[in-house]
């Protein structure tokens, strides 16, 4: 905790950064000597100060070591915004109007890897050792969740390697699906990724994968689990159309952002018509 200004009144204000939307972001350090009574005094005087300044949203980031301060903030009108392993973010809205603070992350992102050997028309398939498909004998694509800060194309390569030991390279996104009320009521984005194998010797992940092997695509597609599931049947048909050379997916192209000049991937259909850039996958 540090003073926000030099005057005696401002010395009783929590230090914080002003954001671009008329708000204040306060980081409570884990080494700040802060008991609940001291925090309450600082919090009430800070809110009064920010109100005079015309501030709107207040964000307080509490490290896990300061969990004893949560009750104080909640009683003053703060509410939970999101939590990470080492901190909790609380928010407060000063104006007497409905708040316009953005929600926490609304979606989880996953991938399914369609790894095709074009010479044999075999697809890389796995059987899960746990989950809803455990013990069913169903063959499925390698799947997984995209890590924070990880590109979809990178996640697909990683998941294939982790589950099967196969090295691969990303080709394109064939399709994606949005669903709701999935993992802890969050929405879900699932990307079907076409992959090109760079190796073929399978070494399955022991603690998650029951079996992994190359199987004929037609055998995969003919499974009752695929044929009787509308979504999986749709995806299977898209993959078959791609195998037959009659479908074009979305290929990644690197482009820099207006806001911070950081490069990110734009996924384009028929990238041959897009401007060529260095650094594409």
Which residues are tagged catalytic? 162
**What are the CA-CA distances from residue 49 to residues 10, 16, 44, 185, 198 (Å)?**
8, 12, 9, 37, 61
Running DSSP on this structure, what letter comes out for residue 97? S
Pairing mode of beta strands 107-117, 187-197: parallel
Q: Are 125 and 215 in contact (CB under 8 A)?
A: yes
Nearest residue to 169 via CA among 251, 83, 51, 59? 251
- H-only helix segments in the chain: 36-52, 70-75, 152-164, 217-221, 224-227, 230-243
Q: Are 184 and 176 in contact (CB under 8 A)?
A: no
Nearest residue to 216 via CA among 132, 82, 117? 117
C-alpha 248: how far from chain center: 26
Nearest residue to 23 via CA among 92, 96, 97? 92
Q: Residue 58 has which token pair?
A: 């207040």
Query: Strands, E, within the chain: which ranges?
Result: 17-18, 24-27, 57-63, 79-84, 87-93, 107-117, 122-128, 143-145, 168-179, 187-197, 209-216, 250-256, 263-269
SS3 74: helix
């Amino acid at each position: 905790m540090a003073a926000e200004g030099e005057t005696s009144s401002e010395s009783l204000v929590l230090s914080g950064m002003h954001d671009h939307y008329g708000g204040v972001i306060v980081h409570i350090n884990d080494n700040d000597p802060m008991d609940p009574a001291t925090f309450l005094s600082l919090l009430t005087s800070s809110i009064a100060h920010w109100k005079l300044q015309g501030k709107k949203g207040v964000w307080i980031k509490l490290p896990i070591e300061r969990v004893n301060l949560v009750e104080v903030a909640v009683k003053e009108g703060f509410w939970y915004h999101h939590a990470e392993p080492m901190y909790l973010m609380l928010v407060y809205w000063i104006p007497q109007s409905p708040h316009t603070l953005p929600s926490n992350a609304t979606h989880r992102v996953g991938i399914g890897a369609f790894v095709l050997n074009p010479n044999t028309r075999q697809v890389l398939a796995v059987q899960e050792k746990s989950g809803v498909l455990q013990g069913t004998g169903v063959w499925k694509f390698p799947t997984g969740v995209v890590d924070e800060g990880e590109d979809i194309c990178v996640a697909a390569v990683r998941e294939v390697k982790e589950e099967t030991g196969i090295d691969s390279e990303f080709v394109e996104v064939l399709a994606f699906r949005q669903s709701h009320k999935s993992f802890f009521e969050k929405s879900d984005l699932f990307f079907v990724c076409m992959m090109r194998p760079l190796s073929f010797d399978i070494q399955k992940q022991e603690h998650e994968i029951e079996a992994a092997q190359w199987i004929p695509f037609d055998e995969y597609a003919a499974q009752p689990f695929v044929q009787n599931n509308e979504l999986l049947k749709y995806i299977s048909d898209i993959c078959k159309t791609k195998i037959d050379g009659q479908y074009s997916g979305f290929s990644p192209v690197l482009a820099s952002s207006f806001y911070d000049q950081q490069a990110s991937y734009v996924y384009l259909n028929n990238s041959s018509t897009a401007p060529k850039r260095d650094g594409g996958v």
